[in-house]
C-alpha cells in the first residue's frame, strides 16, 4: 500500500536528484487530490494508460526504486504527501488503489513489507 502512496505522491510532485526526490514548489498535493481529473491523469500516466507530464514520467521511473528501498530518498515533506495521497485513495477511491496494486505489487510483496506502516495509519481493513 505504501506503493500506491509512493506512486501517487511521486507522480504528483517529485523530480529525482542524486540524493533525494525534489518536490517542485508549484505543486500542491492538497489541490491535486481534490481533483479526480488530475488524480486520474497522474494515475493513468504511471499505469501506462495515458499521457505523462514530465513529473509523471519521473514518477513512473522512480516508483519501483522507492518501493524497494523504503523511500530512502524521501524527505519529511515527501512522506507527509505520501500519507495524504494514500489515505485519499484507499479511503475514497479503492478501485484506483486496486489498479495501483495490480501494476506495482501483483504478488503482494510490498503490501506485506509495509503492513506495519499501513496498520499504524489505519489503512488496513
CATH number at residue 39: 1.10.2080.10
The parent domain of residue 58 ranges over: 2-120
Number of domains in the chain: 1
**Residue 16: per-residue pLDDT:** 42
Start-to-end Cα distance in the chain: 12
What CA–CA distance (Å, rounded) separates 61 from 26? 21
Helix 94-104 / helix 2-13 crossing angle, nearest 10 deg: 90
In a domain, 101, yes or no: yes
| pLDDT per residue as tens digits for the range 43-86 | 999 899 999 888 888 778 778 888 888 888 887 877 888 888 88
Distance of alpha carbon 44 from alpha carbon 42, whole angstroms: 5
Q: What is the tens place of the pLDDT at every residue in 3-52?
A: 555 555 555 544 444 466 655 545 688 988 999 999 999 899 989 999 98
Is residue 125 assigned to a domain?
no
Q: What is the pLDDT of residue 22?
A: 53
Instruction: Determine, yes or no, domain membership for 33.
Output: yes
Q: How far is CA 50 from the centre of its chain?
A: 16
Amino acid at each position: 500500500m505504501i506503493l500506491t502512496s509512493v506512486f501517487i505522491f511521486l507522480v504528483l510532485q517529485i523530480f529525482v536528484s542524486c540524493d533525494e526526490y525534489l518536490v517542485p514548489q508549484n505543486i500542491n498535493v492538497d489541490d491535486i487530490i481534490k481533483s479526480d481529473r488530475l488524480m486520474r491523469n497522474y494515475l493513468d500516466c504511471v499505469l501506462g494508460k495515458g499521457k505523462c507530464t514530465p513529473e509523471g514520467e519521473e514518477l513512473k521511473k522512480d516508483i519501483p526504486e522507492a518501493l524497494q528501498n523504503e523511500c530512502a530518498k524521501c524527505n519529511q515533506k515527501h512522506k507527509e504527501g505520501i500519507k495524504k495521497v494514500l489515505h485519499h485513495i484507499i479511503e475514497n477511491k479503492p478501485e484506483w488503489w486496486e489498479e495501483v496494486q495490480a501494476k506495482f505489487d501483483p504478488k503482494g510483496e510490498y503490501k506485506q513489507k509495509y503492513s506495519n506502516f499501513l496498520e499504524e495509519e489505519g489503512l488496513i481493513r
